[in-house]
Structure 1
Amino acid sequence: MNIERDLKRIAQQEACLRYTRFDASDAWRLGCRLQALAAERKASVAIEIRVNGQRLFFCAMPGATPSNEDWIRRKSHTVDHFRRSSYAVGLGLNRDQTTLEAKIGASTADFATHGGSFPIALTDSVCIGSVTVSGLPQRQDHALVVEALCDCLNQPLSSLALEE
């Protein structure tokens, strides 16, 4: 894994994977797409979509645990604060050899800089919420969200996926 290459690709994902508008119907379609992808892979994940602080979609797949919901809460707080994917924030901290606590005084009880939460942003660059997955290794959580967003936004996954 090359952190700089991944950070550039994630910035590209964040720039391309935007909605012109996003409402409860869009949240349902995105959540159902994530659920279908998770079911195909037999992934024991929890999925949440939040907009303006309101939960619009939640699903716990077989094998998901209550701790997945806590990870979702903490990952989505990271997106809410930074308006970036939780994976990008974590990779940036890793690159800079620091922690969120050292950088802004944030506690790991409230924030998680592991992959899996991605901003729901509008084309006018406004971040209105987050889509979050928890239960897989962090890079796979991030990749699952990106794949579902690509599907829903008719974007080519091949040009946006992180390299293996």
Structure 2
Amino acid sequence: MTSDQDVWPTLDELVREEAELELAGLSEIDAYELGMRAVAAASERELPVAIGVWRAGRQLFHCGLPGSTRDNDAWLRRKGRVVMRFERSSLYMARLCRDKDVTLTQKYGLPAARYAAAGGAVPLRVRGTGVVGWMGVSGLPQLDDHRFVVNVLRETPR
């Protein structure tokens, strides 16, 4: 039996969601504030996650909370590479692969050791510019990782 927590959004829903999350900008201070919002939200719930914010290939924020591991850091980077390659959330790419019953390696020739089509990394789009980076979380089930990032971004002033 599946719960509402296990229901995957459609590709169209994920595209609409990404459009809603567009930012006015992404400076180093903006990245820090995004990261700290995520740390506060995760700490409040005692979530064992790694959190990262990247812009143009540069990590601007990272925090590994209690219970997170190096493996979470590796998953975070792998999911982020997917975002920057396709300019879509890592959950979007996971859903796309799931719907077509293929892996990223099968469909695009991308090595699984470097790319992960699993929810938790979301593109950071700047109004008038496009995708400039990504924000991600690793440590929860992939749908929860994705929802966590989306919720933090929804609470961010535009």
| Equivalent residue, structure 1, for 2:81 | 77
Asked whether 1:121 is paired with 2:125, we answer yes
Q: Kindly state the Cα deviation for residue 115 of structure 1 after the two structures are TM-superposed.
A: 0.4
Cα distance, 1:99–1:129 mapped onto 2, change above 3 Å:
same
Aligned residue for 1:152, secondary structure, equals coil
Q: What TM-score does the superposition give when structure 1 sets the normalisation length?
A: 0.89
Give how far 1:125 is off: 5.0
Check if 1:48 corresponds to 2:64: no
Distance 1:26 1:100 in 2: 31
What is the RMSD of the two structures over their aligned residues, measured on CA atoms?
1.3
Mapped partners of 1:29, 1:72: distance in 2: 19
User: TM-score, length-normalised on structure 2?
Assistant: 0.92
Q: Counterpart amino acid of 2:30?
A: D
Percent identity, aligned pairs only, is 35
* Pairing 1:30-45 to 2, within 5 Å after superposition: 30-45=34-49
Query: Cα offset for 1:79?
Result: 0.3
The answer for unaligned runs of 5 or more in structure 1 is 155-164
Unaligned runs of 5+ in 2: 1-5
Q: How many residues align?
A: 153
In the alignment, does 2:158 pair up with 1:137? no
